[in-house]
């Protein structure tokens, strides 16, 4: 089921990436093509405007002297021609056209195109850019019947260039299209990996949570069913079963709180409240109760707080929770006669917190995964100490939210050091 879901998601991502690349390339190709076409058209129109200006302001009779006109000498470009039209739409300079007349005769006279630029495409013939205008009064011969001048320019070369450019552009888009298919496949494969990892973590989280919840519930159920078989027994006689049930209920309560906290951290809904707190008294108030707890377990406890700054900028409750997790962990995994030390040292713009104990060393392979959720080095030992494998995971989350780092290393010849480095604001 998971493989099918991941495959469907990968296909969707592939199609999204491919569609996005296609839109980009098609849009870019269209813009480039039309820009090139517009540039060619603008160049032709600019050239024709110069011809129009010369005709309008010419002092020569371009009608009666068409062949010898200085206008033509000024613009000898073979691509540019002039057609003279009579009032009723007949060509009046037929003789001057010579062999070109059959081509020009196919160009229609459309009076509504007056003073407009227009592209004329002939079937099986050249393509022209055209501009129709009235013959200026200054250029009209008294005995000539021409009333309109149509300036045309052969843009067949431009059209061929545009066709070649379009073909090159299509080939380029085809190549980029194939590259986009490959790139879309690669990106979809890369993008799906975090989702797959999230699915795996979610499944592992649910499986571990279900296991952790099942065990205390089973114990409570068994104890309650046992009590039902002793309806006449006194409470004092069954105090052990009741105490065990209450212990498991407390464990369930702590477990659900931890699970809710980690769920909030995953959804980024947990809010940290950073504020200025008095440095030395803050740490002393947290660790002093642990001296009594360690004494009651025949363990030695010492603490050293070397902080010169009066105030530090932290989330007071979360750092308190972090220290409690580390100290509880030290108490759980030490025996009578062992020593536990709590050290806080201020460095340049950093606060270093160390919790050191003389318990058993941690295997190097386990150090890499010790901060993972539901981590357990020894399941039976975890059950005895009441741990659920979430404490150190929560501790790492708190440190990460403070932009710090936490690591664990062994103390030689025996012992474990948990060190937290926090880049906090220190105030005098």
**How far is it, in rounded angstroms, from Cα 276 to Cα 135?**
89
H/E stretch holding 323 reads helix 316-332
How big is the chain, counted in residues?
A: 428
301 pLDDT higher than 90: yes
420 pLDDT higher than 60: yes
pLDDT given for residue 144 in this prediction? 63
Helix, coil or strand: residue 336: coil
**How far is it, in rounded angstroms, from Cα 63 to Cα 298?**
123
pLDDT given for residue 190 in this prediction? 87
**How far is it, in rounded angstroms, from Cα 156 to Cα 158?**
5
70 pLDDT higher than 50: no
pLDDT given for residue 69 in this prediction? 43
Mean pLDDT of 261-279: 78
Q: Which residues are CB-neighbours of 23 under 8 A, at least 6 positions away?
A: none
Cα–Cα nearest to 139, from 236, 65, 213: 65
Cβ count near 373 (within 10 Å): 21
Q: Which two tokens stand for residue 7?
A: 């495959």
Mean pLDDT of 319-342: 91
Q: Which two tokens stand for residue 360?
A: 């058993």
pLDDT tens string 33-43: 999 988 888 88
Cα–Cα nearest to 81, from 145, 149, 161: 149
**How far is it, in rounded angstroms, from Cα 39 to Cα 346?**
69
pLDDT given for residue 409 in this prediction? 92
pLDDT given for residue 135 in this prediction? 82
pLDDT tens string 394-416: 889 899 988 999 999 998 888 99
pLDDT tens string 72-92: 333 334 477 888 888 888 888
- Least reliable range by pLDDT among 12-16, 342-346, 358-362, 424-428: 424-428
pLDDT band at 217 (very low <50, low <70, confident <90, very high): confident
Q: Which two tokens stand for residue 43?
A: 């160049």
Q: Are 309 and 346 within 8 A, CB to CB?
A: yes
Domain ranges of the chain: 2-162, 203-266, 274-427
pLDDT given for residue 264 in this prediction? 73
pLDDT given for residue 210 in this prediction? 77
**How far is it, in rounded angstroms, from Cα 194 to Cα 79?**
64
Residue 409 pairs in a beta bridge with: 417
Burial of 334 (0-12, 13-18, 19+ CB in 10 A): buried
How, if at all, do strands 339-347 and 300-306 pair? parallel
DSSP summary character for residue 125: S
Cβ count near 416 (within 10 Å): 22
**How far is it, in rounded angstroms, from Cα 97 to Cα 100?**
5
Q: Output the CATH code of domain 274-427.
A: 3.30.565.10
pLDDT given for residue 426 in this prediction? 66
Cβ count near 54 (within 10 Å): 15
207 pLDDT higher than 60: yes
Tokens 């309650």 belong to 224
Cα–Cα nearest to 422, from 360, 357, 343, 350: 350
pLDDT given for residue 67 in this prediction? 45
pLDDT band at 340 (very low <50, low <70, confident <90, very high): very high
Residue 264: alpha-carbon gap to chain centroid: 22
DSSP summary character for residue 209: H
297 pLDDT higher than 70: yes
Q: Which CATH class is domain 2-162?
A: alpha beta
Cα–Cα nearest to 151, from 46, 65, 36: 46
- Edge-to-edge strands, sheet with 311-315: 274-278, 311-315, 425-427
Cα–Cα nearest to 406, from 388, 415, 393: 393
DSSP summary character for residue 99: G
Cβ count near 47 (within 10 Å): 16
**How far is it, in rounded angstroms, from Cα 144 to Cα 87?**
11
**How far is it, in rounded angstroms, from Cα 31 to Cα 370?**
57
């Amino acid at each position: 089921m998971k493989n099918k879901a991941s495959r469907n998601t990968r296909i969707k991502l592939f199609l999204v990436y491919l569609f996005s690349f296609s839109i980009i390339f098609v849009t870019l190709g269209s813009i480039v093509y039309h820009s090139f076409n517009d540039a060619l058209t603008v160049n032709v129109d600019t050239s024709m405007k110069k011809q129009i200006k010369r005709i309008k302001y010419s002092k020569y009779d371009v009608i009666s002297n068409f062949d010898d006109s200085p206008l033509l000498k000024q613009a000898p470009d073979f691509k540019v021609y002039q057609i003279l039209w009579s009032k009723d739409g007949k060509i009046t300079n037929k003789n001057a056209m010579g062999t070109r007349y059959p081509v020009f005769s196919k160009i229609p006279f459309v009076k509504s195109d007056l003073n407009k630029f227009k592209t004329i495409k002939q079937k099986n013939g050249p393509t022209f850019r055209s501009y129709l205008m009235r013959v200026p009064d200054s250029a009209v011969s008294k005995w000539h019947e021409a009333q309109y001048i149509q300036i045309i320019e052969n843009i067949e070369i431009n059209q061929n260039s545009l066709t070649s450019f379009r073909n090159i552009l299509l080939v380029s888009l085809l190549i980029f299209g194939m590259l986009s298919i490959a790139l879309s496949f690669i990106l979809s494969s890369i993008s799906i990996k975090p989702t797959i990892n999230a699915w795996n973590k979610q499944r592992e989280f649910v499986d571990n949570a279900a296991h952790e919840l099942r065990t205390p519930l089973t114990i409570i159920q068994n104890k309650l069913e046992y009590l039902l078989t002793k309806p006449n027994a006194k409470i004092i006689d069954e105090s052990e079963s009741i105490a065990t049930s209450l212990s498991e209920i407390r464990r369930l309560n702590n477990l659900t709180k931890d699970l809710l906290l980690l769920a909030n951290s995953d959804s980024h809904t947990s809010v940290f409240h950073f504020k200025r707190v008095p440095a030395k008294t803050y740490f002393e108030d947290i660790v002093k109760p642990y001296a009594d707890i360690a004494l009651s377990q025949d363990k030695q406890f010492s603490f050293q707080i070397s902080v010169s700054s009066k105030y530090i900028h932290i989330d007071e409750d979360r750092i308190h929770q972090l220290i409690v997790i580390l100290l509880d962990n030290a108490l759980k995994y030490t025996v009578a006669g062992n020593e536990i030390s709590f050290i806080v040292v201020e460095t340049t713009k950093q606060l270093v917190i160390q919790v050191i104990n003389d318990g058993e060393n941690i295997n190097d392979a386990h150090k890499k995964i010790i901060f993972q959720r539901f981590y357990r080095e020894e399941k039976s030992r975890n059950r005895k100490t009441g741990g659920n494998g979430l404490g150190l995971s929560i501790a790492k989350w708190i440190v990460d939210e403070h932009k710090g780092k936490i690591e664990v290393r062994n103390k030689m010849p025996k012992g474990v050091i948990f060190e937290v480095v926090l880049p906090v604001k220190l105030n005098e």
